[in-house]
Amino acid sequence: MSKAEMQSPRRATRPRQAEPALRASALFALRVYNSHILEGLLEEHIRAVMHARTEEQIREVIALADGLLRR
Is pLDDT above 60 for 8?
Answer: no
Distance (Å, rounded) from C-alpha 49 to C-alpha 56? 11
Triad 30, 33, 35: Cα angle to 5° = 105
Please state the rounded mean pLDDT for residues 36-46: 78
Report whether 45 contacts 29 (CB < 8 A).
no
Neighbours of 59 (CB within 10 A): 14
pLDDT of residue 6: 46
Residue ranges per structural domain of the chain? 16-69
Please state the rounded mean pLDDT for residues 42-60: 93
Round the average pLDDT of the chain to a whole number and report it: 80
Query: pTM value?
Result: 0.56
Q: Considering Cα of 11, then 22, then 37, then 70, what sign does the dihedral take? A: negative
